[in-house]
């Protein structure tokens, strides 16, 4: 019995969120490009298909034809937003560009009960999240309306015979009241899925797969000290024990005291064997005068792999390199796999050299961050480590705008350390998803103790997010920001001014580079 939900991506910013919502409900989901062919579809054998939203207009641009393979497969389908419009077009309904766009909150009213709205009532009204300018103005052949909003007569529709359901609003977004219920109705009432995606099952599956892939060979793990690679270390330790060697490379681009903390966490708290390689000089030399963010990422990725290969040779009989790659890295780095633009190459995917000699083991490649954290907790990794804010693979290199020098790294480490310390002191650290400091390559005039100074500017950034795909700025109380700024300018040599970044994502990304 198939128990997988296939999400077909048409470029929506919410595609990954749909996948996560399905998994949170206990059902495994995968995201695939809209170019998926019949063979791939048959191999996946999904219990249901969700068509994502997307930025394009079905009226002005017919670039995505819905494949007959999908619609004739007799697999239940849920079309969301653009997905609904594609289905309408295919089955000869009519979509029109509305003069009145509908973005943000809207009220949806159920006009007809259905399996999709199980445990909800006819005429019930609730808030939903809309993001569209095109809308369905004539239902496709064989479809019935399920509900409306003030701006959209057909905000939900279905064809029970074909098991196709469509929503103009986004059930995956938390602002949609009853969104979780609607997704679960699709999974359990329409697709007849079972709740098999549980932490215990995921751990067992991963361990079985590692044993199968690695067999009696040896693995080295690229350990960064962050949540992802630490969870991979714990999983590999459980699966292959002595055949695992963890290697931690000090790139010189880590946070203050991080090298010491990683050693303590991994060796002492988790009892995993760890080799530390001092490579700061190599990284600083390779990055000399490099200003372009993508070049920095590619150079760091490549240098990492080369160092690991060298270590693997020294250790002898190493066949595999393990990495803490997670699902968003895979989706975001692959322009082939997804329609969305490549915004940044994440070094553990985009920067891999083509002639790499070690084979890859990536046990959490299919997991989202919240799933990795749950697994970590269940494996006994200390909460202080699990709850740490994410830190990018290329480290402080992507938080120093322009070229990188040891002096700039030292300044940024000190600034970051004060910022994080104050957030912890004021009980804000766990309420913020990610806090960071950025070094700006501009100087500003200031005055300290009656003396003119001309020194660097740093930016502080703190965001709240569920999935790191979109984020809003954390509202740190003004008096605390004030204290942080005063401490930084007083205590960090080389900084004259502190600014606070108030850009959400989108349009900004979380990291500056």
Q: Rule CB under 6 A: which residues touch ligand XMP?
A: 297, 343-344, 346-348, 390, 392-394, 434, 468, 505, 509-511
Q: Which is nearer to ligand XMP, 3 or 474 (CB)?
A: 474
CB of 356 to ligand XMP, least distance (A): 17
Q: Residue 336: name the closest of 73, 66, 34, 43 by CA.
A: 34
Cis peptide before 506 (omega within 30 of 0): yes
**Active-site residue, 172 included:** yes
CB of 433 to ligand XMP, least distance (A): 8
Q: Which is nearer to ligand XMP, 106 or 333 (CB)?
A: 333
User: Which residue in the list 132, 166, 172, 422 is annotated as catalytic?
Assistant: 172
User: Which residue in the list 81, 166, 193, 246 is annotated as catalytic?
Assistant: 81
User: Which residue in the list 102, 132, 166, 170 is annotated as catalytic?
Assistant: 170
CB of 497 to ligand XMP, least distance (A): 23
Helix axes 15-24, 369-378, angle to 10 degrees: 30
**Active-site residue, 170 included:** yes
Phi and psi at residue 36, in whole multiples of 5°?
Answer: -50, 135
Q: Which helix (H) or strand (E) holds 166?
A: strand 164-167
Q: Which two tokens stand for residue 165?
A: 């359901």
**CA distance linking residue 479 with residue 388, whole number of Å:** 24
Strands 94-110 and 4-9: what pairing?
A: unpaired
Q: Which is nearer to ligand XMP, 347 or 408 (CB)?
A: 347
Please name the residues in contact with 460: beta carbons below 8 A apart, sequence gap of 6 or more. Answer: 415, 419, 435, 436, 437, 438, 481, 484, 498, 499, 500, 501
Q: Which is nearer to ligand XMP, 64 or 391 (CB)?
A: 391
CB of 297 to ligand XMP, least distance (A): 6
Phi and psi at residue 246, in whole multiples of 5°?
Answer: -95, 135
**CA distance linking residue 74 with residue 70, whole number of Å:** 8
**CA distance linking residue 490 with residue 11, whole number of Å:** 47
Q: Which is nearer to ligand XMP, 136 or 235 (CB)?
A: 235
CB of 308 to ligand XMP, least distance (A): 16
CB of 347 to ligand XMP, least distance (A): 5
Strand partners, 277: 249
**Active-site residue, 148 included:** no
Q: Which is nearer to ligand XMP, 315 or 343 (CB)?
A: 343
Give the three-class secondary structure for 145: strand
Cis peptide before 507 (omega within 30 of 0): yes
Cα-atom radius of gyration of the chain, to the nearest Å?
25
Q: Which residues are catalytic?
A: 81, 170, 172
């Amino acid at each position: 019995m198939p128990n997988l939900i296939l999400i077909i991506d048409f470029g929506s910013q919410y595609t990954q969120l749909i996948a996560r919502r399905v998994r949170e409900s206990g059902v495994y989901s995968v995201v695939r490009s809209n170019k998926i062919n019949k063979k791939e579809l048959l191999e996946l054998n999904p219990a249901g298909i969700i068509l994502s939203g997307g930025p394009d207009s079905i009226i002005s641009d017919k670039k995505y034809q819905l494949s007959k393979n999908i619609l004739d497969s007799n697999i239940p389908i849920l079309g969301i937003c653009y997905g609904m419009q594609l289905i309408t077009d295919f089955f000869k309904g009519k979509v029109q560009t509305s003069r009145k766009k509908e973005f943000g909150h809207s009220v949806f009213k159920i006009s007809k009960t259905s399996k999709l709205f199980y445990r909800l009532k006819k005429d019930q009204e609730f808030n939903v999240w809309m993001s569209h300018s095109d809308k369905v103005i004539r239902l496709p052949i064989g479809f019935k309306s399920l509900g409306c909003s003030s701006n959209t007569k057909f905000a939900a529709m279905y064809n029970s015979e074909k098991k196709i359901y469509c929503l103009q609003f986004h059930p995956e977004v938390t602002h949609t009241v009853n969104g979780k219920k609607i997704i679960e109705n699709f999974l359990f009432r329409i697709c007849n899925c079972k709740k098999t995606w549980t932490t215990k099952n995921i751990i067992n599956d991963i361990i079985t797969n590692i044993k199968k892939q690695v067999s009696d060979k040896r693995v080295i793990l690229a350990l960064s000290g962050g949540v992802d690679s630490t969870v991979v270390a714990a999983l590999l330790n459980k699966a292959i024990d002595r055949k695992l060697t963890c290697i931690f490379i000090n790139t010189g681009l880590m946070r203050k005291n991080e090298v010491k903390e990683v050693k303590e966490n991994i060796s002492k708290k988790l009892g995993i064997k760890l080799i530390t390689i001092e490579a700061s000089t190599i990284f600083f030399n390779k990055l000399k005068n490099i200003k372009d963010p993508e070049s920095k990422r590619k150079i760091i990725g490549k240098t990492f792999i080369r160092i690991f290969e060298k270590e693997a040779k020294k250790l002898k009989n190493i066949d595999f390199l393990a990495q803490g790659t997670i699902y968003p890295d895979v989706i975001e780095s692959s322009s082939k796999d997804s329609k969305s633009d490549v915004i940044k190459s994440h070094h553990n995917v985009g920067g891999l050299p083509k002639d790499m000699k070690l084979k890859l083991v990536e046990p959490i490649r299919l997991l989202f961050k919240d799933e990795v954290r749950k697994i970590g907790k269940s494996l006994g990794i200390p909460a202080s480590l699990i709850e740490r804010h994410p830190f990018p693979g290329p480290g402080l290199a992507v938080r120093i705008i322009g070229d990188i020098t040891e002096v700039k790294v030292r300044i940024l480490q000190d600034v970051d350390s004060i910022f994080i310390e104050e957030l912890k002191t004021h009980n804000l650290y766990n309420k913020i998803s990610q806090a960071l400091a950025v070094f700006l390559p501009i100087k500003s005039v200031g005055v300290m103790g009656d003396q003119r100074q001309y020194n660097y500017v740093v930016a502080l950034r703190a965001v709240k997010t569920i999935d790191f795909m979109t984020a809003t700025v954390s509202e740190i109380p003004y008096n605390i920001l004030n204290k942080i700024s005063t401490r930084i300018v007083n205590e960090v040599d080389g900084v004259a001014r502190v600014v606070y970044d108030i850009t959400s994502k989108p349009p900004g990304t979380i990291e500056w580079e």
